[in-house]
Structure 1
Amino acid sequence: MATHSGGLTEAEGAAAVRIRNVVRSFGQRTVLDGLDLTIAPGEFVALLGRSGSGKSTLLRALAGLDHDVAGSGDLTSPEHVSVVFQDARLLPWKRLLDNVVLGLDGPLAEERGRAALDEVGLAGREQAWPVELSGGEQQRVSLARSLVREPQLLLADEPFGALDALTRIRMHTLLKRLCERHRPAVLLVTHDVDEAIVLADRVVVLDRGRIAADIPVVLPAPRRHGSTEYASLRDRLLVQLGVDLVEEDSAA
C-alpha cells in the first residue's frame, strides 16, 4: 500500500472512492471522525452539511491537498482527479484555450482544449481573456479545464455558489450533461438542498465529521420541485440538517 498524505493509506479496490475510518484533525479539533464512505465509478454524490461539518476537509483529503493536517485511516481514490472550486481560478494573463490546456502535453492538447470549450458552449471564444467573460462563462471554462483531462473523479466544492439563480440552473443542466457524457465519479460539496436533489444519484449528509444520512435519489426525470416525492425528500434532508420545518413554514 502506498502512503497517503497525513497518515492516510491508499489501498486497491473496485470503487472510485473508498474511505474507511478516516480521521482528520486541526490541533485539538477533530473535523472528520472515523468517516466511512464509498462512491462507485460514474456515481454522482452530493455532500451536504452545516458549516464546520467537515465537507471541504473531506474534499481536500481526496484531492491530496491537506498535507499539514493530522490524520489516519484508509483512503482509495483514482489516479486521475480534477477539482472545480467556487471561483473559476482562471489565470488572467492567459487566454481561454491556454487556461483549459494548462499542464497538458502532447500534440493533441490544443485540439482537446478546443473540443472541451465547444462542449461547454464557448466554441469560438478560445482567444478571449478571462476578464471578458461573465461569472457563469468563467465557470464553464473551469469545467472544461477539469473535464479535458478525463478525470475518473471530479471533486466540486460549491462551484455554483457565487452565481445568480438563473445562471445556476443553466450550470446544473450543463454539469449533468457533461457528467453523463464523460462518466466520472463526482463528489459535489454544496449547501443547496435543491442543487443536491436535482443533480445527485445519492445525497450524503455530514454532521460533526460523520455520515448522518446516506439517501439515494430515485426521483423520475426531470426532477420537478413541485412533485410530492421531491418535497418529501427535500423535507427529509432539511430535517437532517437541523432545520425546523414548523418554523420554516411559519416564516413562509
Structure 2
Amino acid sequence: MATDVGGLTATTTGVTVRNLHRSFNRSGGVLNGLDLDIAPGEFVALIGRSGSGKSTLLRALAGLDRDVQGYGRISVPEQVSVVFQDSRLLPWKRLLANVTFGLDGKDAAERGLRALTEVGLAGRESAWPAELSGGQQQRAALARSLVREPQLLLADEPFGALDALTRLQMHELLRKLCAVHRPAVLLVTHDVDEAIVLADRVILLDGGVVATDVRIDLAQRSQADPGFAGLRHQLLDALGATGEHLGSDFIAPGQRRVS
C-alpha cells in the first residue's frame, strides 16, 4: 500500500517510489517524476553526478525530507536505518551507549554487545568515540544501524572519508552483515568500483530520473573477471566520464574523493 508524498507508508514488500518530485528553487527540479523499486533484501547502489538527486532521494526515503512534491508516492518498510559519511557518534557517550541509543527493551545492552561483536569491536563497549579510528567509528555506526534489525538500510557515502585499505575492509564487512541481516540496501556512492563490488543492481540518476539500471552478476563483482572492466566502462560512459577523463565527481580505483 502507499499514499501521496508528504507522509511515508510502511510496507513489508520492499521500496516503491512513483512519480517523485523535489525542487529547491525555480530553476528546475532535482527529482523529476522518479520511479524506483527495491525488492526485500536487494542491495542497490545509486550513482550519478553531483546534483543528480542521490542524497535527496535517500533523505526522502528516510523521512527526513517532507517537502517532496507532486502526485508521487513512497512506500518503505517500517524499520529503516541510515548510515552517513561521518559516524555521527555522540562524543559524550561511550560506545555501547551510542549503539543502543534510543533502543527500547530490557535486552538492549545484550543486543548492542552482540552488534559490536558482529562489526569487530568486541571489548570496546566502554571506549569513547574519540578513542576510535575513523574505520572503527564507521563500524560502530553500522552496529548502531543493524542492532535495530532494519528492513531497509540507507547508506549515504558511508566509506567516502576512509583510506583505500579501510574501505576494502568495510566492503567485506558490509557484505557479511547484509548476508546475515538481509535488509534491503540503498547505497549512495561516487565510486563506480564500489557500486559494482557491493550491489545487486547499480542505478544511475540523471535529470532527476533513473537513466540507467544495471543488474550485477556475481562473477562481475570480482575485478579479475573480464565482465568487471566492461561493466565499469559502461557505467563510466553513462556518467560521461571514461578513461583518463574522470570528472571530479567520480573516483578511480585506489583514489579518494575529496568532498
Superposition TM-score, scaled by structure 2 size:
0.90
Contact 2:55 2:156 in 1 (8 A): yes
Partner of 2:218: 219
1:24 Cα offset (Å)? 1.0
> Which of 230, 237, 257 is matched with 1:239 structurally?
237
Contact 2:99 2:112 in 1 (8 A): yes
Note the alpha carbon deviations across 1:139-167, whole angstroms, 9 max, x for none: 00000000000000000000000000000
1:226 Cα offset (Å)? 3.0
Q: 2:231 and 2:150 mapped to 1: Cα distance? A: 30
- AA paired with 1:207? D
**Which SS does the other structure have where 2:92 is aligned?**
coil
Say whether 1:192 aligns with 2:191: yes
Q: 2:18 and 2:9 mapped to 1: Cα distance? A: 10
Q: 1:12 and 1:97 mapped to 2: Cα distance? A: 29
Partner of 1:66: 65
Partner of 1:23: 21
Stretch moving more, 199-208 or 239-248? 239-248
Note the alpha carbon deviations across 1:76-101, whole angstroms, 9 max, x for none: 10111000000000000000000000
**For the structure 1 residues 92 and 57, does the alpha-carbon distance in structure 2 shift closer, same or farther, using more than 3 Å as the test?**
same
**How many residues in Structure 1 have an aligned counterpart in Structure 2?**
245
- AA paired with 1:234? R
Q: 1:12 and 1:69 mapped to 2: Cα distance? A: 17
Q: 1:125 and 1:13 mapped to 2: Cα distance? A: 36
Superposition TM-score, scaled by structure 1 size:
0.92
- AA paired with 2:17? I
Say whether 1:150 aligns with 2:160: no
Contact 1:52 1:208 in 2 (8 A): no
**Which SS does the other structure have where 1:77 is aligned?**
strand
Contact 2:44 2:202 in 1 (8 A): yes
1:12 Cα offset (Å)? 7.0
| 1:1-252 alignment runs, 5 A limit | 7-8=5-6, 10=8, 15-28=13-26, 29-220=28-219, 223-245=221-243, 247=245
- AA paired with 1:239? D
Ranges in structure 1 where 5+ consecutive residues have no aligned partner:
none
Contact 1:117 1:126 in 2 (8 A): yes
Contact 1:100 1:141 in 2 (8 A): yes
RMSD: 1.8
**Which SS does the other structure have where 2:234 is aligned?**
helix
Q: 2:112 and 2:122 mapped to 1: Cα distance? A: 10
Stretch moving more, 55-64 or 71-80? 71-80
Contact 1:193 1:234 in 2 (8 A): yes
Contact 2:17 2:37 in 1 (8 A): yes
**Which SS does the other structure have where 1:220 is aligned?**
helix
Contact 2:10 2:77 in 1 (8 A): no
1:13 Cα offset (Å)? 5.9
